[in-house]
Structures are given as structure tokens and as C-alpha cells.
Amino acid sequence: MEILLSPNKSHTVSFWKGLNLIDDNSPDWEESINIFKNRMEGRFFSPIKAIEKHVDREIRIFSGFTIIAIDCLLIETLNQFYSGINDTNDSYKGANAKAFFDFFGASKHFNKYFDSLDKATIFYKQIRCGILHQAQTKEKSTINASYRNPMIEWVNDKRLEDGMRINRIKFHSALTSEFNDYLKRLADSSNKKLRNNFLKKMNHIAGIAV
């Protein structure tokens, strides 16, 4: 059975290989972006939406760790697409917090909250690594779902290492907006470097040597 690149059964590796993506003005570019969109939405964004709208109130309320864990996966993956790299650990030589800083810094939806490597590192260590490796946040960092709270606030402005409070509703909304902005940038044929990096990553996923 051929590998699918998205939940759409027509989005096979063979189908991807048949697209003309050498010409920036090729109509196949629209299809390639659609494959990527379906891949990311079908596997990540839509499941999160289903959790957020779940009929069980407890699942809706207590799903913060699950949603932020997926968001961290998405951040790392999107940064790989932005940079045209296959593996964060190999490319960043183990300094993976820098990958998160690069992503946050390049996004208008996040850069005002993570305007230093130190802040991005705290997120990486206390939120990303805490949840993914120990199923808990570290230090005094917490995750909430109150519409009244800001997206990010620090437990102690004078001692950032104490941790942060993340409004996971606003955080995921910002990430969704960043994803949609990326799709728009890819649709612009003048963004050659962005498209080249996108192709590097997608070709790697499809098992195409470049």
C-alpha cells in the first residue's frame, strides 16, 4: 500500500512526484499547498478542534496538556518547513530551544511574547520538554483556559525562570493564525526561498532524495 501524505487517499507519494513544482507559476503549486494543508489539518488541527468542542465538559476543560503537546509538535514541524530542514536535533546540534526561538521570532503572532532566547528556552524546557517527557509542566509554569487571561504572562517578571502561565486557547489560536499565514505566503510565487524550503521538507517526507 502506497504511503499517503495526507488523510486524502488521492494524496499519495506517486501523486506528489507527478506534480510540476519546478515552475513557480505552475498550477500544481496550489495542489501541493492543498496536500500540506490537508496533512496538517487532518492530523493535528482538526483533532484539536474536536477536543475543544467535545460533548464531555471534563475533556474540554482538562485537555490543555494534550493540546499544548500537539502545538509544540506543530511549532517544531513548521520551523522545519520554514528552514528546509529534516531533523531539528541534527540541524541545531542539540540546541533545540533555538529552533523554538527562531519560530517565535519570525511570527508576528508570537514575537512580542518571546523576544529573547531566554524566554523561548524557558518555554522549551518547562512546557515542551516537561509535557512531552514527564507529562507535567516544570517549575511554576501552568496552563490555563481562561478567556480573561493573556496568552502569556510570567510568574515573576524579575525572575523569568520561575515560569510562565500559558492561556492555551489563545496560544493555539495564535498558532492557527500563523499556520494560515504560512499557507498564504506559500501561495505567493515571489516567496522563492520559502517555497524551496517547503519542497525540501515535503520531498524528505515523500522519500525523495534531493
Rounded distance between C-alpha atoms, residue 69 and residue 61, angstroms: 15
**Residue 2, in any domain of the structure:** no
Q: Is residue 20 part of a domain?
A: no
- What domain count does the chain have? 1
State pTM to two decimals: 0.96
Question: Each residue of 144-157: pLDDT tens digit?
Answer: 998 899 999 999 99
**C-alpha to C-alpha distances, 181 to 110, 133, 154, 175, 176, nearest whole angstrom:** 13, 30, 27, 10, 9
Is residue 95 in some structural domain? yes
Whether 16 is covered by a domain: the verdict is no
Q: Mind listing the pLDDT tens digit for each residue in 100-146? A: 999 999 999 999 999 999 999 999 999 999 999 999 999 999 999 98
C-alpha closest to that of 127 among 104, 119, 37, 80:
119
Query: What is the span of the domain harbouring residue 31?
Result: 26-205
| pLDDT 10s digits, 39-94 | 999 999 999 999 999 999 999 999 999 999 999 999 999 999 999 999 999 999 98
Question: Is 14 within a domain?
Answer: no
Backbone angles phi, psi at 54, to 5 degrees: -60, 145
pLDDT score recorded for residue 210:
61
Residues 6+ apart with CB under 8 A from 153: 164, 165
CB 98 within 8 A of CB 117: yes
Domain assignment present for 194? yes
Tens of pLDDT, residues 160-205: 999 999 999 999 999 999 999 999 999 999 999 999 999 999 999 9
Q: Which residues contact 126 (CB under 8 A, 6 or more apart)?
A: 137, 138, 139, 141, 163, 164
Residue 1 forms part of a structural domain = no
